[in-house]
Amino acid sequence: MNARVPAVLVLEDGRTFHGQAYGRVGQTVGEAVFSTGMTGYQETLTDPSYHRQVVVMTAPHVGNTGYNDEDQESGRIWVAGYVVRDPARVPSSWRSRRGLGEELDAQGVVGISGVDTRALTRHLRERGAMKVGVFSGEAAERPAAELLRAVQDAPDMVGTDLASLVSTDETYVVPAVGERRFSVTAVDLGIKSMTPHRLAERGIEVTVVPSTATLEEVLTSGADGGAPDGVFFSNGPGDPAAATHEIEVLQGVLERRIPFFGICYGNQLLGRALGFGTYKLKYGHRGINQPVMDLATRKVEVTAHNHGFAVEGKAGEVRETPYGRAEVSHVGLNDGVVEGLRCLDAPAFSVQYHPEAAAGPHDASYLFDRFVDLLSGTPASQLLDTTGKTDTTEKGA
């Protein structure tokens, strides 16, 4: 774990934290964000949505269960850097194959331990997400002004289109479990591996295509080369305002009234396709304990989040769009942020969080069943809730 190698964390505003190297010795820069999840660090590390972000873990002990070969959500660790307070000295899990620090080192991830992550998190909450650098070994011995300049010269997250950097290069198919009921094309904007698996469990054959796929390619990527029964947009990193290609593809899907379901980045892109604006949150939502209300059912779900941008709007708001009426269907209970959209006159809906429960609670798994209902012909305005009753509750915050 390189516990004796000095390391320093430098924030964009000049505040510094000293600790010890954790993972690879060297240097890295990115956007400083914090995750409030008490478990599931392996799923966090391998979530492509964290590309170019240095993740601060608010949980004090990290690495207790080591690193296994089953819980990865992609083929590699995507975080730009990792910040922990007390790393486990010895992992304790029968599933562990190696220590977390060992895996970080093997994959070239520069981290730092021994940091007061409570103070760092409070600083980010008060000042907002900002650029950060982690430097260890010889890199940490450079003058403080030089380190700060390296951080401040790092690229901003606003205006960046990152989906193509984390997306698959080639189309692949995840077969349905059991009898194939539907064929869905999933546009990979940074998809987690559990997501197509959740769809496949419901009898959906999933064709995963790159983020650069054209509308024509999407429309001919269904079973046997035909049109898919539905289209799915995944989670992913970057500024949704910069994803002009993906938004145009989604608008083509909406025009053709093809059933659509989006999560996280896909929710933001649906918002922009409908004419909603998006903006950067002060410090974002990241963790597996975020409370969200489904305004149709008035049920509160504890959900998994990873987003730094959000859709503009108010709870229960209904807008006229080029594709008919659309409403804000879900809202975050911590800060009122838009957490879901639903088209009332087109077969499309989305949520800002991750319903695949990897890692995270299973409160939102019913959303995959809602998508199946949509594929079966149920109007989006009459989708079923978790009890099997039609959504007829009065809208409102």
Contact 337, 310 (CB under 8 A): yes
| Residue 308 assigned ligand-binding role | yes
Cα–Cα distance measured from residue 224 to residue 221, given in angstroms and rounded to the nearest whole number: 8
CB neighbour burial string for 105-114, b if at least 16 within 10 angstroms, e if fewer: bebebbbbbb
| Residue 128 assigned ligand-binding role | no
| Residue 49 assigned ligand-binding role | yes
Active site residue 354: yes
Active site residue 170: no
| Residue 137 assigned ligand-binding role | no
375 CB-near residues (< 8 Å, 6+ apart):
181, 182, 184, 204, 229, 230, 259
The single residue of 12, 264, 317, 343 carrying the catalytic annotation is 264
Active site residue 356: yes
| Residue 309 assigned ligand-binding role | yes
Cα–Cα distance measured from residue 386 to residue 264, given in angstroms and rounded to the nearest whole number: 20
Contact 63, 94 (CB under 8 A): no
- The residues with which 341 forms a beta bridge, in sequence order, are 328, 350
287 CB-near residues (< 8 Å, 6+ apart):
35, 36, 37, 58, 304, 305
| Residue 268 assigned ligand-binding role | yes
- The residues with which 11 forms a beta bridge, in sequence order, are 132
Residue set of the binding site: 49, 236, 238, 268, 306, 308-309
Residue set of the binding site for L-glutamine: 49, 236, 238, 268, 306, 308-309
Question: Which residues carry out catalysis?
Answer: 264, 354, 356
